[in-house]
Structure 1
């Protein structure tokens, strides 16, 4: 069991890499070798420092981080997410990711918006212990689909005027998955805090199997000597009734200054990456340069990474 606390996602990521490398044992599910720790509790004290950035070793795709978060928040399982991470196609059945979190979050059993249910529960009873969102669905996830949710669920608590969030995961690929998962979960946490009119509290990430695949172990070791970024995103909020309309506007890239700086940065990030994928490289870089840091700087670094490697478009 490992317990780690840090003020930024980057610091938490490198601390977790070190802990897994030092304490992990070999496990080979599906004949894939991993170094694994059973039982991890990772605490992020400043959830706005949600962006993992450890150059030059771990540079993530900020467009996919934003796209996945908005894809989930909007309740979608649509294949447009593949435009931001083509590797996900390998996990789809009939072109659909059957473990997509969005429909489970916003339309459980085709009808229940769990995000709204928790919002209403905590509004009515701020000290409730029933602020639970369930993602793992045994009735679906034992059918043999390629994509099975790693996240079991989320829990929310208001204590001392601050919203605390806990995420439970059955499994976490530390190198590929953690940087994107913590971006999404802390974004959900911050939005929920805004809907409830409370401050943003600590974020807790509980993982049953925290692991590094053998292919990533060398890079994880190198990341311990990288430059750890601790940039903080600007606050983000939207009134609950406006959420879905705003999400669609941001996804399409039609944001403006009236939506707030972070929403505008999200829209610019997605628009820039669409331009990159369409081979409009100068336009992509211009949009990245016009996007406020840390997303703008991270996007420029991602483009530099893509042009300096021949591995395609990894996460």
Structure 2
């Protein structure tokens, strides 16, 4: 509650965590070399039952690329080509860095993406990110034992999302309503190991809630996409399974702010949150994999201006 007795805006959970991380977090040298301030272990809860989505308002979040990323995850793709074709650049930095390192060519990001779109062979070779999120969500590897004691990988893996939808519809009180991207055997093949790694769902009175466990959270850039996408997915699953949205619970392990994100700290923390927008899904296709970008409407989003921050690769 606020000092005046009114309900406290749920975005203050995020702002409070950012402030704590910046003021109390330990300074750490991370894999990017940029450095962070970090705290370990945090929780936030967002009520989605009134149709809202936790889309941060203290800075503008470009939710359309986030939605396209979620649909890309659900497609099972591991290549940036579909994203680049839709004008989404959030995954380009990793394969671009790999291409520059291995070829020595100082290609621009724009030229690299143009080749990804126009050159099939180039896209297949250099646009592949390895078995990242969507590949694990939709095609977790299966192996069959052979007579000589070895294992053969089956051509089609386990579709965790299809299984989840079936479980929600057939056994909604199960304690196994889970999917994960953390495949230990394939971590070293991924451009980036999954940060938002495990999702678990809970049904009570036809109301669907979710806990997202995130091993690593970039509070400056990543969190806004992570919490929005997880909440949209919860709305999608609820609609697909004829349920109502409940609560989105976020659990972060290594919660950090990059040292070069001070603009976030000095600007965003001075702003007052505005009402969260509503999410409308305009149709219910036969499958959760048949949703299109135009099926989603975000209504009433009135954020403060964007804060441009660098990405640490």
Residues 40, 255 of structure 2: 8 Å contact kept: yes
User: What TM-score, normalized by structure 1, do the two folds share?
Assistant: 0.72
Question: 2:270 aligned with 1:214, yes or no?
Answer: no
From 78, 98, 115, the counterpart of 2:161: 115
| Deviation digits for residues 217-247 of structure 1 (CA, Å, limit 9, x no counterpart) | 3422321111423232233265352443332
Question: Counterpart in 2 of 1:77?
Answer: 78
Question: Counterpart in 2 of 1:68?
Answer: 69
Pairs within 5 Å for 1:128-277 = 128-143=174-189, 145-236=190-281, 238-239=283-284, 241-247=286-292, 250=293, 255=294, 259=295, 263=296, 265=297
Q: What is the CA-CA distance between 1:73 and the residue it aligns to?
A: 2.4
Structure (1 or 2) with the greater helix fraction: 1
| Deviation digits for residues 18-59 of structure 1 (CA, Å, limit 9, x no counterpart) | 2222331111122331110111112112372321121xxx32
Question: 2:69 aligned with 1:43, yes or no?
Answer: no
Residues 34, 260 of structure 2: 8 Å contact kept: no
Q: Distance in 2 between matches of 1:237 and 1:6?
A: 30
5+ long unaligned stretches in structure 1: 267-291
Question: Counterpart in 1 of 2:14?
Answer: 13
Q: Distance in 2 between matches of 1:140 and 1:243?
A: 26
Identify if the C-alpha distance between structure 1 residues 312 and 135 changes in structure 2 by more than 3 Å, giving closer, same or farther. Answer: closer
Q: Distance in 2 between matches of 1:293 and 1:182?
A: 18
Tell me how many residue pairs correspond in the alignment.
258
Partner of 1:97, secondary structure, is coil
Pairs within 5 Å for 1:271-286 = none
Q: Distance in 1 between matches of 2:274 and 2:37?
A: 25
Q: What is the CA-CA distance between 1:178 and the residue it aligns to?
A: 0.3
Q: Distance in 2 between matches of 1:120 and 1:227?
A: 41
| Deviation digits for residues 201-220 of structure 1 (CA, Å, limit 9, x no counterpart) | 11111111000000113422
Residues 237, 288 of structure 2: 8 Å contact kept: no
Deviates more, 1:152-161 or 1:104-113: 104-113
Q: What is the CA-CA distance between 1:6 and the residue it aligns to?
A: 7.0
Identify if the C-alpha distance between structure 1 residues 84 and 43 changes in structure 2 by more than 3 Å, giving closer, same or farther. Answer: farther
Deviates more, 1:224-233 or 1:32-41: 224-233
Residues 196, 226 of structure 2: 8 Å contact kept: no
Q: Distance in 2 between matches of 1:221 and 1:241?
A: 47
Q: Distance in 2 between matches of 1:63 and 1:191?
A: 16
Alignment RMSD: 3.0
Q: What is the CA-CA distance between 1:101 and the residue it aligns to?
A: 1.5
Q: What is the CA-CA distance between 1:105 and the residue it aligns to?
A: 1.5
Residues 161, 199 of structure 1: 8 Å contact kept: yes
Q: Distance in 2 between matches of 1:244 and 1:127?
A: 23
Residues 13, 179 of structure 1: 8 Å contact kept: no
From 42, 52, 57, the counterpart of 2:56: 52
